[in-house]
Amino acid sequence: MAEVPSTAAVVVVGGGVMGASTAYHLARQGVRGVVLLERESFFGLGATGRCAGGIRHQFATDINIRLSLHSLRMLDELEAETGQPALVRKCGYLFVLTQPAEVDVFRRNLARQHALGVPTEWLSGDEVRQKLPLARFPDALAGSYYSQDGLADPNSVVMGYVNAARRLGVTCLTDTAVTGLETAGGRITGVQTPHGSIATPIVVNAAGPWSAPLAAMAGVDLPVVPLRRQWLTTTPLPVIPPDFPFVIDFAQSLYFHREGEGLLTGMSNPNQAPGFDQSVDLEWELVHLEAAAQRLPLLERAGVVSRWAGLYEVTPDAHPILGHTPLEGFYVITGFSGHGFMHGPIGGLLMAEIITEGQARTVDVSSLALSRFAEHKEIAEYNVV
Ligand SMILES: Cc1cc2nc3c(=O)[nH]c(=O)nc-3n(C[C@H](O)[C@H](O)[C@H](O)COP(=O)(O)OP(=O)(O)OC[C@H]3O[C@@H](n4cnc5c(N)ncnc54)[C@H](O)[C@@H]3O)c2cc1C
């Protein structure tokens, strides 16, 4: 194992997509002496490695749509940038709407998306049924579909950034937990690890679902709650066509997409209590599978190949927290609330801009400041599942 350096210009804590992207972009912007610390034995074993890989432009707020416009382009360009392809598969994303109230909200969302240059298509209930002949959606009222949404590979993205960061001189260490944060006179001065302390004027909290306990080590209160979510993959289902989209039954927070020869399907438990438990809830899996088989009867013929649970890092308004904290030199990039994988590339770039230039240049993220919660300026978001 590489040695922990005694000093650093910047220490990034957390080796998921946010930390890897931040470390890379800092180095890309010319910062020397960047250290990335991950407590697990591999990078990307937290939320990033347990995510469903969905990437989409279809959001309900301008800020999220703008983040997607940049981030999905960065995923397309990841190979040119880092040498590692993101394995993007544009199979399209189809939100199926079964409640009248959803229809109104999604119509407004579509107008927002169009205004920002995302040509999402509006489908009638019959068009939804035609698009999904294998599924059972007698109650579909409408659908929202964009062909350029789809999937990418989380591990490739994390390792693309980690390896490129290393080539630019970043010290990227696994098996190195941050166990304490050092402060003096209202600013951050260092991090403690079991292998030694690092003196540094800048620490980036990229600890995802664990970002609140990390911030608490420095006395900073972060409103980020871990919430368990889970999915499973099935045995091969050859009847599923290669162009089968990422389908979301919005009212039930139920989704499925093609994964290898079979399907990946997940459903959010609305009664899930916050906590750090990452074991699969088998009782909820039964509820989920029953709902999934109602929509896609061919699932009755499938077996389960793998099952995973992970943690969303959820904020009160389901939007990220990006930027400064009241503690000088202590920055946060967290709280992406279920869609952080896709926003990892742009998130890291913006974090690096905030550190090196004082504010983000590529996208105005002032609305994502931590201070919004104290100032009661939360953002309203609807389509997060
Ligand atoms: C089941 C599931 C499905 C999802 N599906 C999607 C999807 O389809 N599309 C999408 O865009 N997003 C999805 N997400 C959300 C996405 O995975 C997260 O928003 C994103 O991965 C967060 O990245 P992160 O780097 O902030 O967190 P993480 O990937 O969790 O990284 C944080 C890292 O910090 C490390 N760490 C924590 N504390 C310390 C410490 N004290 N010292 C050192 N290291 C520490 C952890 O080990 C971890 O590796 C999903 C999430 C889950 C759980």
Q: Is 348 in the pocket of ligand 1 (CB under 6 A)?
A: no
Give the Å distance between the CA of 48 and the centre of ligand 1.
4
Indicate which CATH number applies to the domain containing 238. 3.30.9.10
The protein residue with its alpha carbon nearest to ligand 1, atom 20, reads 340
Domain-embedded: residue 380: no
Q: Which of 292, 310, 328 is the last residue of a domain?
A: 310
Domain-embedded: residue 184: yes
Q: Which of 286, 310, 334 is the last residue of a domain?
A: 310
Q: Is 124 in the same domain as 114?
A: yes
pLDDT of residue 51: 96
* pLDDT (average), residues 102-111: 95
Q: Which of 285, 310, 335 is the last residue of a domain?
A: 310
Domain-embedded: residue 80: no
**Residue 273, pLDDT above cutoff 80:** yes
* pLDDT (average), residues 362-370: 97
Domain-embedded: residue 130: yes
Q: Is 271 in the same domain as 306?
A: yes
Q: Is 334 in the same domain as 200?
A: yes
**Residue 254, pLDDT above cutoff 90:** yes
The protein residue with its alpha carbon nearest to ligand 1, atom 50, reads 51
| Domain membership of residue 183 as a residue range | 10-52+154-223+317-374
Give the Å distance between the CA of 73 and the centre of ligand 1.
21
Q: Is 275 in the same domain as 299?
A: yes
Each as own residue / partner, the long-range contacts of residues 65-70 (CB below 8 Å, 24 or more positions apart, any chain) are: 65/112, 65/113, 65/116, 65/118, 66/116, 66/363, 67/343, 67/346, 67/347, 67/363, 68/118, 68/342, 68/343, 69/116, 69/117, 69/118, 70/345, 70/346, 70/349, 70/362, 70/363
Q: Is 117 in the same domain as 194?
A: no
Q: For residue 338, give the nearest of 201, 229, 221, 216 by alpha carbon.
A: 229
**Domain count along the chain:** 2
* pLDDT (average), residues 234-258: 96
Query: Which of the four pLDDT bands, split at 50, 70 and 90, describes residue 1?
Result: low
pLDDT of residue 210: 98
pLDDT of residue 382: 54
The protein residue with its alpha carbon nearest to ligand 1, atom 15, reads 338
* pLDDT (average), residues 292-315: 96
DSSP single-letter state for residue 356? H
Q: Is 159 in the same domain as 26?
A: yes
What is the distance, to the nearest Å, from the Cα of residue 73 to the centroid of all Cα atoms in its chain? 16
The protein residue with its alpha carbon nearest to ligand 1, atom 41, reads 178
Domain-embedded: residue 42: yes
Mean pLDDT over each residue of the chain, to the nearest integer: 96
Q: Is 297 in the same domain as 233?
A: yes
Instruction: For the beta carbon of residue 134, count every other beta carbon within 10 angstroms.
Output: 14
Q: Is 306 in the same domain as 229?
A: yes
Give this prediction's pTM.
Answer: 0.97
